[in-house]
Amino acid sequence: MDVISNYQNVAATVRRCAEAAGRDPEEVALMVVSKTWAAECILPIVNIGHSLFGENRIQEALEKVPALPENLHWHLIGHLQKNKARKALPLFHVIETVDSLRLAQQISRIAGELSLTQRIFLQINIGEEPQKAGFTVQALCEQLAEVLALPHLDVAGVMAIPPRGDTPEASRPHFRALRECRDDLQSLTGHALPELSMGMTSDFPIAIAEGATIVRVGSAIFGHRRQFVS
């Protein structure tokens, strides 16, 4: 598999989709989802200048992040258990999956102890699926002021993983709902939430059309996931 060619094709598609939506392509960041792929598999993309990567698991990141250049920008896009927050904060520039007030409180407390301000996104269960983590829209409206009051957090946006659909177009109403929810939260609080992390390999063109600022793409670049081997 030609990872470089795949990456370049995806990056070009991101730009074309942004332009087709009347948006500045520079407003849409491509996150390469590198979970399950070892550092040597990621390095070719790093070597041609890409710097934004997403990881799911703390243990993988503990091995990969130190093995790759220091200028890379890492997002945690998997569930963060509260008891692993202390390991996660020094590794990740952004934790995208803050799915509860309690987790936000834990991250803020540990960030304070580490003399950090941790950038986070709030994960919204936009499809209200019982098996998925995330704030409901109602809960976030009720609790956002408490999250914003936490002293060691930079709350920069929202993210979601919509329900699986039969076609990419099935994701559109969920992406639109996330954008509208973000807009409502900004109006409610006066706090800017510029980042919308939504869209993956199967549906990222739809996400861009609906306002995504970050799309998360892995399998279109690396192929199907494999078991991580350190």
Place of tokens 């987790």: 103
Place of tokens 């093995």: 67
* pLDDT for 1 beyond 90: no
* pLDDT for 95 beyond 90: yes
Cβ-based neighbour number of residue 229 at 10 Å: 7
For residue 224, the model assigns a pLDDT of 74
For residue 83, the model assigns a pLDDT of 92
The beta-carbon contacts of 84-92 under 8 Å, at least 24 apart in sequence, are 84/58, 85/110, 86/110, 86/114, 87/58, 87/62, 88/58, 88/61, 89/114, 89/116, 89/118, 90/114, 90/116, 91/58, 91/61, 91/62, 91/65, 92/55, 92/61
pLDDT in tens, 72-92: 999 999 999 999 999 999 999
Q: How far apart are the first and last CA of the chain?
A: 21
Mind giving me the DSSP string for 55-81? ES-HHHHHHHHHHS-TT-EEEE-S---
- What is the chain's alpha carbon radius of gyration, rounded to the nearest angstrom? 17
The encoded tokens of residue 55 equal 């990881």
For residue 223, the model assigns a pLDDT of 86
Residues 226/11, Cβ–Cβ less than 8 Å: no
* pLDDT for 51 beyond 90: yes
pLDDT in tens, 184-213: 999 999 999 999 999 999 999 999 999 999
pLDDT-derived band at 226, boundaries 50, 70, 90: low
Mean pLDDT of the chain: 95
For residue 229, the model assigns a pLDDT of 47
Sign of CA dihedral 192, 198, 204, 206: negative
Q: Please report, for the chain, the start and end positions of each structural domain, with discontinuous segments joined by +.
A: 3-222
pLDDT in tens, 135-160: 999 999 999 999 999 999 999 999 99
CATH, domain 3-222, list 1.10.238.10, 3.20.20.10, 1.10.3720.10, 3.40.50.720: 3.20.20.10
* pLDDT for 225 beyond 70: no
In the three-class reduction of DSSP (H, G, I as helix; E, B as strand; rest coil), residue 96 is classed as: strand
User: Which residues lie closer than 8 Å to 9 by C-beta, 6 or more apart?
Assistant: 220
